[in-house]
Structure 1
Amino acid sequence: MVAPTSSTPTPAYFNNVALGEGATKVIVPLSSSTLDEAIDGAQALAGHTFDIVEWRLDFFDSAPEIQPCLHLAALLTARVGHPILATFRTSREGGNKDIDDDAYTELLSTLAISGSVSAVDVEISRGHVVTERVVRSARDAGVPIVGSFHDFTGTPDVGAIVAQLIHARDAGCDVAKAAYMPRSARDVAHLLEATAIAHEELEIPVITMAMGPLGVVSRAAGAVFGSAATFASVGQASAPGQIPVDDLLPVLRSIDSWSKPAS
């Protein structure tokens, strides 16, 4: 897969997967509403090549109840065989349901200290208090935190994108993630330029993407600009523009082979 061209940040370890080191990592979502669907979804992942599973708790009917989530986390850890990134994406950032701050904080903090997930995602837009509590719990448990931001309405300028990624770093997160909806090819170019700047300036890995059809190039070639991972689908996609993983891998390998310096 594609190796970043600039300086390498301090990697974030999702178990034995070093995000931000070497080739870009491929993350696939698991978006199931019931325990049985989640088990079937985990089985469907077998035979596909990828690095990390993003477990989308906002699709799970029983979330944010703690015990059902802990039970399913343990089952997935036993069955998936890959690191699990626990994510509750709220509706205001393109997710499947809403949740209040206390329930959001308790769920992510409990999962972080449970030993059943490899990393947690926290939405930076929820504010300093929520982010600090989740980061503290995850840090105490030795679990990396992805600080994320999603905007389905448009794409800001380069400086604003870089500032958002820096904000995630300053909040104590181990990985800074930002996704935007482009309205033009120029928006995608802004996203990629901001990615290159953040990759050079931040000491943590960054993950960026432009969503929708216009943003496909950012998912396939983002690592050339410094994005440490890309999201691809097995079955149901969790965001617009995700490419099926079996279609994406040959593209990543082709870009990798042609982007390496000549010896």
Structure 2
Amino acid sequence: MICATVLAEAPKDLERALQSPARCIEARLDPYRGDWRAASELLAKLAQSKVVIATIRSKEEGGLFRGGEEERLGAYLRALEAGPQYVDVELNSEIKEEVVKAKGTSKIILSVHDFSGTPPLATLKSWADAAVGAGADVVKIATTARSWEDNFALLSLIGSAQKPTVAFAMGPLGLLSRVFAPLMGAPFTYAALDKPAAPGQLPYGAMEAIYASLGLYSDLKSLGEMRIALDAVDTALMHLLKLRLAICRDMGRLKKSMGLPIYDDVRETEVLKRAGDFRQLFDLVVQMCKAVQVAVEP
């Protein structure tokens, strides 16, 4: 499952998450500056229709929370009142025991984030064991990849711990583990609903495009499964269309700087010919891209 992360600075960010096709939302509440009553109401609505992970990430592990630990504990307790399916708190935080005691029906994710690198496998395993011992329902370990081999160390944790484990590497070299973690048994991986919340986090649409291309949405049996697949494919298509428009925008800027004409009838004919049965659709896409090129400033 792809969990779309939203950095919730205001209620409108949670509203956008509610309207998104993502089935799982990580509500990062550490940057939140709005009315907590509004946040609690929106979290409750999210939890009624989606899987929700409520997180108030500490500054020490990459978060944006400005207050002290007592204040952060209060924020966690307010988040728990909304009934999220999961609450993520750091294994090394001072408040983890209080959060675990107050979890109610929510499951606890105890997490470790290392932005300096990836320690030896023995250390990674000791973190996982410590999280299980501290009351984790799910273990999450995210380190920073300095080599491709770091991905394999993290992925080897999945299935080896006593509890469900999410393990992946951050940064450009960690992309492999982000994609393969759920394929190897992790309950979820993370993607950005809007702007990335961690180094190397891909857009939600990009992740859906990857999994759709890998055939995850084939052999569907029920109408519900098919609708979920369609939502995923639609999200992937919109991501790719936005990417195409961005490239066309840069192309228009380059053409104008070189004094070249925006329209290229030969190129357009080639694109539409390749489109085959999708010619009518691609004709609309081409017109949109031409309009973007015309409007761009050189």
Q: Say whether 1:132 aligns with 2:100.
A: no
- 1:218 and 2:186 correspond: no
Whole-angstrom CA distance in 1 between matches of 2:210 and 2:16? 28
- Which consecutive unaligned segments of at least 5 residues does structure 2 have? 217-298
Alignment of 1:159-198 (within 5 A): 159-193=122-156, 195-196=157-158
Which has the greater radius of gyration? Answer: 2
1:118 offset after TM fit, Å? 2.5
Measure, in 1, the Cα distance between the counterparts of 2:161 and 2:29.
Answer: 32
* Greater per-residue strand proportion: 1
Q: Which position in structure 1 is the counterpart of 2:71? A: 103
Q: Please give the alpha-carbon distance, in whole angstroms, between the structure 2 residues aligned to 1:183 and 1:154.
A: 6
Report the structure, 1 or 2, having the larger helix content. Answer: 2
Aligned length: 217
**Residue range with higher mean Cα deviation, 236-245 or 143-152:** 236-245
2:28 corresponding residue in structure 1: 56
Q: Distance in 1 between matches of 2:207 and 2:166?
A: 17
Q: Percent of aligned pairs with the same residue?
A: 27
Inter-CA distance 223–34: structure 2 relative to 1 (3 Å threshold): closer
- Which residue does 2:14 correspond to in 1? 38
Instruction: Return the offset for 1:98.
Output: 3.7
Q: Is the 8 A contact 2:3 2:26 kept in 1?
A: yes
Q: CA 1:252 to 1:36, structure 2 compared with 1: closer, same or farther past 3 Å?
A: closer
Alignment-derived partner of residue 115 in structure 1: 82
Partner of 1:261: none
1:161 Cα deviation after fit:
0.7
> What is the identity, as a one-letter code, of the residue corresponding to 1:109?
L
Unaligned runs of 5+ in 1: 1-24, 63-67, 258-263
1:75 is matched with 42
Relative to the length of structure 2, the TM-score reads 0.66
> Once the 2 structures are TM-superposed, how far is the Cα of residue 253 of structure 1 from its aligned partner?
4.3
Is residue 76–residue 99 contact of structure 2 (8 Å, CA) maintained in 1? yes
Q: CA RMSD in A?
A: 2.3
In the aligned structure 1, how far is the partner of 2:46 from the partner of 2:164? 28
Matched residue of 1:168: which SS? Answer: helix
TM (norm. structure 1) is: 0.75
Partner residue of 1:85?
53
Alpha-carbon offset, residue 71 of structure 1 = 2.5
Task: Measure the CA separation in 2 of the matches of 1:39 and 1:70.
Answer: 14
Q: Is the 8 A contact 1:29 1:233 kept in 2?
A: yes
